[in-house]
Amino acid sequence: MLAAIIRSNHSASALAATFSVLIPAVAEGFLGHAVVVAASPDPESERLADATGAVHLVAAGREAWQLGAEQARGDWLILLDAGDVPQAHWAQAVERHLMLAPERPALIARRDLLGSLRERAALLLQGRQLAAGLVLPRRQARAGTLETGPRRLDCRREREL
């Protein structure tokens, strides 16, 4: 089962936009759990997380992904920043990836060309560090690094701010 880790940017509307695309995956039984990680205490994101049944944590920096992975329930995780909105068929693309390459991480790249190029460059330069858009095994997220480079999925995500 897949779980989502969402880094909150203290914007309730951005977090709500991300939750809006995750709810259908919950209804289908594909997404089972969500963890919201805020860089500092944020009552609005905490209330929204509570209303959706998600766990709310406070952690900053790259450790946010790892702390979220510790609390997540599921063997696979999708990492998102609040405001990330995967395209409508994202769940099917992720499910197909999990069937075909069950140990390799994947990336739901940004839709805009500049954002996508920055994202891929950052993944290369940061030595396989965790980043928004990744779909990966929980054990890799807990370790804080990817074992192999991610496979790019045939769906994209937009950023709603």
What is the domain-level CATH number for residue 30? Answer: 3.90.550.10
Helix ranges (DSSP H) in the chain: 12-27, 43-52, 63-71, 90-100, 113-125, 138-143
Query: In which domain, by residue range, is 82 found?
Result: 2-159
Neighbours of 46 (CB within 10 A): 17
Q: How many domains does the chain have?
A: 1
pLDDT (tens digit per residue) in 78-125: 999 999 999 989 999 999 999 998 889 999 987 765 555 566 555 554
Q: How far is CA 147 from CA 13, 16, 65, 108, 122, in A?
A: 34, 32, 16, 17, 16
pLDDT (tens digit per residue) in 116-156: 556 655 555 455 678 889 999 999 999 988 888 888 888 88
Confidence band for 69, pLDDT divided at 50, 70 and 90? very high
Q: How far apart are the first and last CA of the chain?
A: 28
Specify the pTM.
0.90
